[in-house]
């Protein structure tokens, strides 16, 4: 390996004056150290080796390249609604901009939004939650980071399901705690069971992170099941974090409950304006925490984020208004229809969907009949047939090579086209549809 010189913008190697040669020498030495270290700067934190690539982002990048080349890609990989943010929310954001609402806000969110969320719980869920317990956050990701900083010390364990949302364990690791994955299957409704919690709870376990509806399976925790898990965790001196990011996107017309707060007011709730309310790019979420947590979480929020986006907060006030809620509800019904459409398409191709999702907008599909591992299946599908889906390895390790996630966050015509292309792929690969 020889020393490298830096090319200029035209691709030729730059010529430096004599006064610049020490700079060039130092730079080239560092570049060669970078190569020796395997393209990882040796001064970077060791925790980076524990953070795996988000494969869905790599697939999205490949899709963009194909689209730039004029190809029509069917997007089943993207975990966000394909609909634009509802008009009343956009209008409220525009009004906030025009009114100059562009300054820092209170660290826990503007009072009127915290009060509006509290009213949502009272009106839509039927539980009383003081506005003081509501913490507006910079997305649900910001909320989970705050909860990890609040609840976990170095070396503590947090139980979570496998498969599950992949970034959860990263936030746990950032506070030097340990994510402990608990394998779940369709037979367990893709949720941690009471016996799983008991078996996996150790002297270092501080709590459990649950999700209902869950990503990538769309599974919902039953009311009695949640009550038993919560009672067991609290009985062991632990806590329960409940991810309700997909609250509202449940397909039963009369669900057993609308929020875990109906089951136990001591559950810590993580929620978001991204999914049901269609505000992914606005980066806004909220928590419901115990009153005793407010001092600590305020200090964390002040130091980590200063405040959530002022514009997003003022826009979100309109998310609960009747005109916006009517739009959200129509979209929920549309997702329900798409779920059925895609599930029927998978069945027609001979694929198994072990659990028809109760909520969210994903099918977790068993592809073992193809004889391929999930990542090979996904890359061949995007490269050869321009259909993008996400491998199970993005969501954990348990049976990950056997499953892929299809997001039905795309138009009906693309769902039909995607199923058609998948059928052609099976035929070309000599697999067949039966």
57: pLDDT strictly greater than 90: no
The more confidently predicted of residues 226 and 5 is 226
Supply the DSSP string of 300-369, one letter for each residue: HHHHHTSS--HHHHHHHGGGGSHHHHHHHHHHHHHHHHHHHHHHHHHHHTT-B-SS--SBTTEEEEE-GG
pLDDT at position 318, please? 98
d(Cα 408, Cα 11) in Å, to the nearest integer? 44
Say whether 216 sits in a helix, a strand or coil: coil
4: pLDDT strictly greater than 50: no
Read off the pLDDT of each residue in 230-258 and give the average, rounded to a whole number. Answer: 95
pLDDT at position 279, please? 97
Cα angle value 89/95/97 (rounded, 5°):
105
14: pLDDT strictly greater than 90: no
Please report where in the chains the tokens 């309700």 appear, as a residue.
244
Supply the DSSP string of 11-22, one letter for each residue: SSBP---GGGHH
In the CATH scheme, what is the code of domain 55-79+324-428? 3.90.1150.10
Asked if 285 contacts 244 with a C-beta cutoff of 8 angstroms, the reply is no
pLDDT, tens only, 411-433: 999 999 999 999 999 999 999 77
Read off the DSSP letter of residue 205.
E
pLDDT, tens only, 211-220: 999 999 999 9
Of 394, 389, 374, the C-alpha closest to 52 is 394
Q: How many CB atoms lie within 10 A of CB 220?
A: 26
pLDDT at position 353, please? 96
Longest Cα separation, the chain: 77
Min mean pLDDT across 253-262, 370-379, 384-393 is at: 253-262
Q: What are the residue ranges of CATH 3.90.1150.10 in the chain?
A: 55-79+324-428
313: pLDDT strictly greater than 80: yes
Read off the pLDDT of each residue in 234-250 and give the average, rounded to a whole number. Answer: 97
372: pLDDT strictly greater than 90: yes
* 143 contacts: CB under 8 Å, gap ≥ 6: 135, 137, 270, 271, 272, 285, 286, 287
pLDDT at position 24, please? 55
Phi, psi of 324 (to 5 degrees): -75, -40
pLDDT at position 5, please? 35
pLDDT at position 232, please? 98
pLDDT at position 8, please? 35
The more confidently predicted of residues 386 and 6 is 386
101: pLDDT strictly greater than 70: yes
pLDDT at position 295, please? 96
Q: What is the mean pLDDT of the chain?
A: 91
Instruction: Supply 171's token pair.
Output: 């936030």
- 31-40's contacts with Cβ under 8 Å and 24+ in sequence apart are 31/4, 32/1, 32/3, 32/4, 35/1
Q: How many residues does the chain have?
A: 434
- CATH class of the structural domain 89-312: alpha beta
pLDDT at position 9, please? 36
Q: Is the peptide bond before 31 cis (omega within 30 degrees of 0)?
A: no
Give 38's pLDDT tier (boundaries 50, 70, 90): low
Q: What are the residue ranges of CATH 3.40.640.10 in the chain?
A: 89-312
């Amino acid at each position: 390996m020889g020393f490298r010189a830096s090319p200029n913008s035209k691709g030729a190697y730059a010529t430096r004056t004599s006064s610049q040669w020490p700079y060039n020498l130092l730079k080239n030495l560092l570049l060669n150290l970078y190569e020796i270290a395997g393209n990882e700067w040796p001064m970077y934190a060791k925790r980076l080796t524990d953070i795996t690539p988000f494969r869905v982002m790599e697939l999205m990048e490949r899709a963009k390249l194909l689209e730039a080349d004029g190809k029509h890609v069917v997007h089943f990989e993207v975990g966000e609604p394909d609909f634009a943010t509802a008009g009343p929310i956009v209008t409220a954001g525009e009004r906030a901009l025009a009114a100059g609402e562009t300054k820092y806000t209170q660290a826990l969110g503007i009072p009127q939004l915290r009060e509006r969320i509290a009213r949502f719980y009272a009106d839509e869920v039927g539980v009383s939650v003081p506005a003081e317990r509501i913490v507006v956050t910079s997305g649900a990701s910001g909320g989970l980071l705050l909860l990890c900083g609040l609840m976990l010390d170095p070396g503590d364990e947090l139980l979570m399901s496998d498969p599950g949302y992949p970034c959860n364990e990263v936030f746990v690791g950032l506070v030097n705690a340990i994510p402990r994955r608990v394998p779940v299957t369709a037979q367990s409704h893709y949720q941690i069971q009471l016996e799983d919690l008991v078996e996996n709870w150790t002297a270092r376990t501080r709590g459990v992170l649950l999700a209902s509806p869950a990503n990538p399976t769309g599974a919902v925790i039953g009311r009695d099941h949640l009550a038993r898990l919560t009672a067991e965790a609290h009985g062991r001196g632990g806590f329960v974090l409940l991810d309700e990011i997909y609250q509202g996107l449940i397909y039963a017309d009369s669900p057993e409950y609308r929020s875990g707060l109906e089951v136990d007011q001591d559950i810590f709730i993580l929620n978001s304006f991204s999914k049901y309310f269609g505000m992914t790019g606005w980066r806004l979420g909220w928590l419901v925490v115990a009153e005793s947590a407010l001092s600590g979480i305020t200090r964390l929020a002040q130091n980590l984020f200063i405040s959530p986006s002022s514009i997003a907060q003022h826009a979100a006030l309109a998310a609960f208004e009747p005109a916006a809620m009517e739009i959200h509800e129509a979209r929920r019904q549309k997702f329900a229809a798409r779920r059925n459409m895609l599930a029927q398409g998978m069945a027609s191709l001979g694929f198994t969907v072990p659990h028809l999702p109760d909520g969210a907008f994903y099918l977790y599909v068993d592809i073992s009949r193809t004889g391929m591992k999930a990542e090979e299946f996904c890359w061949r599908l995007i490269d050869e047939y321009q259909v993008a889906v996400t491998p199970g390895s993005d969501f954990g390790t348990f049976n990950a090579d056997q499953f892929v996630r299809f997001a039905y966050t795309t138009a009906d015509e693309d769902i039909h086209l995607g199923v058609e292309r998948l059928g052609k792929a099976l035929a070309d690969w000599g697999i067949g549809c039966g």
